[in-house]
Amino acid sequence: MTRSVPFLSRAGFVTTGLLASVLAVVPPAIAAEPDRGPAPAPPRERVFSMWGAVAGAGASSASVMQSGLSSAGEAADFGAFLMAGVRLEFYPSVANPVSRHFGFAVDLEGFAGESDIETRPGLPAEEVALTGGILTPSFVARLQGRSWEAYAGVGATLLWVTRISNVSGFGSHTEDTDGETPLGLALFAGVRRIYPGKWFFMIEARHTTGKNDFSFDPPATGIELDWRMTGLAAGAGYKF
């Protein structure tokens, strides 16, 4: 038994030394292991803008049919319309050099103006007031520079709500509101001048189409509006 003690002592000494060496090496190796958490999501970008515009509606038309009459009335003139709107654009991935140029947008715009319409066929046209709102989703493409950005979009007028008022000759029924989902055409194109802090100034050309149907009585009369509005807008916004 006395001869085995030195052997056990030497074995324990060697084992302890090996264990200490391993412990000295393992912590730095663990510390050097990279963090393998979830990969970060690709960068996205949103663009918010507010604008005002003057639009011409001269290409629009109105058709008026009255019960008991074979003749139809029409629009004699559409004046200039004032418009104001907001837009939110979303670009899902701006990390990729190709996908960064394409995104989606939603516009909400309001308008107000006047038109001369033969509200009663066979009688002189009268000036009526027209106000309304348009909701438009669209697809957007852009071309970016260091301090400017050109863009264009195409979409559909998903919702077109219009109120016609100051209509005479129908008793107490002098106004009517109509909401349609005409899926008309929406086109816009413009340029943004981008300043430090991601604020920008914009100039834009716009064109939208849509429809509305109004009804008055007595006598029973229907007014169908076929919208064609083209305008020039100016505004500002922010990219985030």
Residue 171 in contact with residue 218, Cβ under 8 Å? yes
Domains for the chain: give ranges and CATH numbers: 45-239 (2.40.160.20)
Question: Which of 2-6, 38-42, 65-69, 150-154 bottoms out in mean pLDDT, i.e. has the lowest?
Answer: 2-6
Predicted TM-score (pTM) of this structure: 0.80
CA dist., res. 78 & res. 209, Å (int) = 14
Element (DSSP H or E) covering residue 66: strand 61-66
Q: Cβ–Cβ contacts within 10 Å for residue 103, how many?
A: 23
Encode burial over 147-181: b for 16+ CB neighbours within 10 A, e otherwise: eebebbbebbbbbbbbbbeebeebeeeeebebebe
- Stronger pLDDT, 207 or 19, i.e. the higher one: 207
Model confidence over 131-169: pLDDT tens digits? 999 999 999 999 999 999 999 999 999 999 999 999 988
pLDDT (tens digit, 9 = 90+) per residue, 189-213?
999 999 999 999 999 999 999 999 9
